[in-house]
Amino acid sequence: MIDTLLAFALPPELTADGLKSRLAAYVALQMRPPQPIERIYYDTFDWRLAKAGLALEQDLSGARASWRLYELATGDDVALLDAPTNSPFPGDGYAPFFSDALPPGELATVIKPLAAIRALLPLAHVAGTVTMLRVFNKDVKTVARVAVEDTHLVGSQTPLPTVARLLPVRGYDRRLDEVRLLMASMPDLQPSPNDPMVFATEAAGHVPGDYSSGLRIVLDPAERADEATRTIYRTLFEAMQRNEPGVRGDIDSEFLHDFRVSVRRTRSALSQITGVLPEAQVEHFKTEFGWLGQMTGPTRDLDVYLLQFDDFRADLPEYMRDRLDPLRDHLLHRQREEQAGLVRALDTTRYAKLRREWPRFLNKPTPARDTPENAAVPVGELASRQILRAYHRVVRQAAAVTADSPAEDVHEVRKSAKKLRYLLEFYSSLYPAEDLKTLVVELRQVQDILGEYQDLQVQIESLEGYAAEMQAAGDVPAATLMAIGALTGQLYSRELEVRQELMPILSRFTRPKLRRRFEATFDPPPPHSPDDDEPKDAESQPSTETENA
């Protein structure tokens, strides 16, 4: 620990001057006048830069705003960019921005593929002063620096702890260690995060790396099914809540995506994990989350078309591409409308009630009388039973699909496959990771092809719908309608191809060898009641959503 510790929080009464006097008893020092500092740290909501070991800092201390992307581990610069503070990019109120707005250059080259469709958010904005203490040797050569930072979060006058940061001078490691040990031996100095981004964002109430769109639920196979189920719901509800401000603000499309995935997972769990929580309330929440899912659908669909727009363009011959521009305008316009509608839905008392009642329900103990039949079953046992049941349903439906089956039958397989996938995610901590991985890879192939098939159908239908809307509103060039027609034609021929491709993938999933693997992994103990798990397929409303799961 001591070998890597480079920053110390000073007690409130200790100033830069005080620290200098203390250190001066042991090393030669010189203090420079305090300089103003102001910095903003950016990352995506899911910490894509931090997870890649990077931090993005905007330095507003000088006349020009300089941007610095650096390595968290070493503090080494990865890319730098100078931009006038008053330029439209980005200095406009420190708002979130997309990496597309970065001017071409090294910074953009590194950040674009990492951040991709996610917005970069200002996570912490700190300002104050830095006082540099220079530690020197007999030749008055600087051998280490101590930067004493007195800062506060902008917008709040409460000061952050004063931090003394050790800055090494190359080739003088031993002198740095001397100062480090000296400071570590002062009992009133507390270790502080070495990195200024980590320090600032933590002060602003964020924990670097604390959000991921993947689901991580840790369960104990022996715990009661009702407890485990509540844990699953709580995790999903927390993800919804964390994404809600971003959904309302429409900061980037992933907030709504992750919000919807949590809603869908919740609905899937409500319909699949039966006999564990009181039935009547489960039914009620099933309706409510179903409503919420519907409210979020149209905005998501439009987000997806906008994200895919460049691919749509690329599907057309070059001379036609610009003719799609009015469609993009229409999609943008509709997206804003639907987004406003979504925010209104989130402002309803119905949603407020759901947000209030759901956690209350999750915190209520299971009733002692009329205990649901599976409430006290160990979750490990129940999980295996549910997973196998879901697996067999997929196999049964997949085996029944022939080249002539109607599209609805194919969609039923898709929905069942998704339910199975969600169960595998909820219960992943109960099984060996390696075993699950192989099965999930198999399942994902089925999901991918079925998802593409469904998406193509929905896209064709929606594009035709948008074309009709544009026509009804008048003023749409004939060339645009023809371009949309050409596009749906392309999508339709792809749909026919996919329909051919999915047959062998479905039949592969039904092979006996895979069944033996599923059964070996989820080998269920004898059921304690033979009739308790009749499939209750409650997710009956037609799914018109386009998913990029």
Partner 1 sequence: MKIFALYNIKGGVGKTTSAVNLAWLSARDGANTLVWDLDPQGAATYCFRVKPKIKGGRKGLVRGKSDLDDLIKGTDYDNLDLLPADFSYRNMDIELSDTKKPERRFQKLLEPLADEYDHIFLDCPPGLTLSAESVFGAADVLLMPMIPATLSMRTTDQIEQFLKQEKVKHLQRLYFYTMVDRRKKLHRELLDRRSKAFLETIIPYASAAEQMAVYREPVFVYAPRSLPALAYEALWREVRERV
Where along the sequence are the contacts to partner 1 (CB under 8 A)?
80, 134, 139-142, 168-172
Residues 354 and 288 sit within 8 Å (Cβ to Cβ): yes
By beta-carbon proximity to partner 1, the closer residue of 171 and 474 is: 171
Q: Which is nearer to partner 1, 66 or 129 (CB)?
A: 66
Structure tokens at 406: 């109607």
Please enumerate in sequence order all residues whose Cβ is within 8 A of that of 488, keeping only pairs 6 or more positions apart, or say none: 459, 460, 463, 464
Shortest separation between residue 18's beta carbon and partner 1, angstroms: 24
H-run or E-run covering 264: helix 253-272
Question: CB of 142: closest distance to partner 1 in angstroms?
Answer: 4
Judging by beta carbons within 10 Å of its beta carbon (0-12, 13-18, 19+), is residue 304 exposed, middle or buried? buried
Q: Closer to partner 1 at the Cβ: 168 or 359?
A: 168
Q: What are phi and psi of 159, to 5 degrees?
A: -70, 150
Q: Which is nearer to partner 1, 32 or 437 (CB)?
A: 32
Compute the least distance from the CB of residue 175 to partner 1, in Å: 11
Q: Which is nearer to partner 1, 63 or 472 (CB)?
A: 63
Residue 76 or 370: the one with the smaller Cβ distance to partner 1 is 76
Backbone dihedral region for residue 94 (phi beyond 0: left; psi -120 to 50: alpha; all else: beta): left
Q: Give CA–CA dist 119/100, Å, rounded.
A: 10
Least separation in angstroms between CB 239 and partner 1: 41
Q: How far is the CB of 197 from partner 1 (least distance, A)?
A: 20
Instruction: Please report which helix (H) or strand (E) contains residue 40, including its range.
Output: strand 35-43
- C-alpha distances in Å from residue 78, one per residue of 21, 56, 73: 36, 10, 12
Amino acid present at 20: K
**Shortest distance (Å) from residue 144 CB to partner 1:** 10
Closest separation between CB of residue 27 and partner 1, Å?
16
Residue number, 138 or 360, with CB nearest to partner 1: 138
Residue nearer to partner 1 on the CB measure, 176 or 331 = 176
Handedness of CA 303, 307, 308, 312 (dihedral sign): positive
Least distance between partner 1 and beta carbon 138 (Å):
9
The amino acid sitting at 363 is N
Tell me whether residue 172 or residue 291 sits nearer to partner 1 (CB atom). Answer: 172
Give, in order, the Cα–Cα distances in Å from 1 to each of 75, 402, 486: 18, 63, 63
Residue 179, class by beta-carbon neighbours within 10 Å (0-12 exposed, 13-18 middle, 19+ buried)? buried
Write out the two tokens for 544.
Answer: 């018109």
CB of 70 to partner 1, least distance (A): 14
Shorter beta-carbon distance to partner 1: residue 134 or 230: 134
DSSP string, 366-416: PPSTT--TTTTSBHHHHHHHHHHHHHHHHHHHHHH--TT--HHHHHHHHHH
- Min dist CB 141 to partner 1, Å, is 3
3-state helix, strand, coil in the chain (%, to 5): 55, 15, 30
Residue 388's closest CA among 282, 216, 521? 521
Least gap, CB of 148 to partner 1 (angstroms)? 18
Nearest-Å Rg of the Cα atoms of the chain is 29
Burial per residue of 499-514, b for 16 or more beta-carbon CB atoms within 10 angstroms, e otherwise: beebbebbeebbeeeb
Closest approach, Cβ 30 to partner 1, in A, equals: 11
Least distance between partner 1 and beta carbon 176 (Å)? 11
141 vs 356, beta carbon nearer partner 1:
141
Distance from the Cα of residue 205 to its chain's centroid: 18
Residue closer to partner 1 by CB (options 67, 453) is: 67
Tell me how many degrees the CA angle 149-152-156 measures, rounded to the nearest 5: 175
Distance CA 130, CA 145 (A): 12
Q: Minimal CA–CA distance to 27: which of 163, 177, 152, 148?
A: 177
Whose Cβ is closer to partner 1: residue 139's or residue 370's?
A: 139
Q: Between residues 78 and 379, which has the closer beta carbon with respect to partner 1?
A: 78
Alpha-carbon distances, residue 51 vs 48, 175, 472 (angstroms): 5, 32, 48
